[in-house]
Amino acid sequence: MSDVTRAEVCAVACAEAFRGDGEILVSPMALVPSLGARLARETFEPDLLLSDGEASYVAGPWPLGGRPPATVEAWLPFRAVFDIVWAGRRHVMMGASQLDRFGNQNISCIGPFEKPTNQLLGVRGAPGNTVNHATSYWVPKHSPRVFVERVDMVSGVGTDKDGGPFHDLRRVVTDLAVLDLAGPGGTMRLLSVHPGVTVEDVQAATGFALHVDDVVESRLPTDEELRLIREVLDPKNLRAKEVAPA
């Protein structure tokens, strides 16, 4: 499988972030996380629940850029999403304009809050997500501009703050590596590097020191996963628009 692309490795890494979740709502917030969630559901996590983006849970293979599956499992009006969030029955994979060593996330602004140089999305649902249910992050371009010593504003709550009893930061997947927040004092730890990437490459692209211990190479897709990615879930190769070939 020497022709496996970086985007496909990232999709598998995103899928692995949902391993063990069982019957909960997953909410991937970009192309590659969406591909990963759908791949996980078609393989090792068949009970994952996906919204069609309107008011239903849907079941069945779902290609990126395609129509949702016709099989509806349950009704999910928007107001019910908050009940799921507050009950902790959700795992979201969000983006991040900035992340620091404690997993504090910023999607709101760049620069001082009183007079930012760039206005971004606002905090959106990040505070409620991070204190109520499992939260992971996807960063399609790992760089010191994203991985900063200190975020300009906290949107998603990190491990150095009181996130309450349901605070659960799981994984950070990037185009270079997979990380978590299990380093000393809840700091960011490097778990794996993607094929062709070194630990030094990841550290050079990070604006703070990572905890490094027993780093492995990120898992390649199996033959069946590769078939699902290429023929069923992303036949248009939209994944390449988010992660360029290495």
Residue-range domain boundaries for the chain? 6-242
* Per-residue pLDDT, 123: 94
Q: Which two tokens stand for residue 196?
A: 């062709």
> What predicted TM-score, i.e. pTM, was given to this entire model?
0.96
Contacts 24+ apart (CB under 8 A), 184-190: 184/211, 185/102, 185/159, 185/160, 186/102, 186/103, 186/158, 186/159, 186/160, 187/101, 187/102, 187/159, 187/211, 188/99, 188/101, 188/102, 188/103, 188/147, 189/213, 190/215
| Residues in the chain, pLDDT under 70 | 1-2
Length of the chain: 246
Which is it for strands 177-180 and 168-174: parallel, antiparallel or unpaired?
antiparallel
Q: Which CATH architecture has domain 6-242?
A: 3-Layer(aba) Sandwich (3.40)
Structure confidence by residue, pLDDT tens digits, 26-71: 999 999 999 999 999 999 999 999 999 899 999 999 999 999 999 9
pLDDT at 2: 58
Burial of 152 (0-12, 13-18, 19+ CB in 10 A): buried
Task: Round to whole Å and give the CA distance between 35 and 40.
Answer: 9
Find residue 58's DSSP bridge partners.
50, 72
What are the tokens at 190?
């490097």
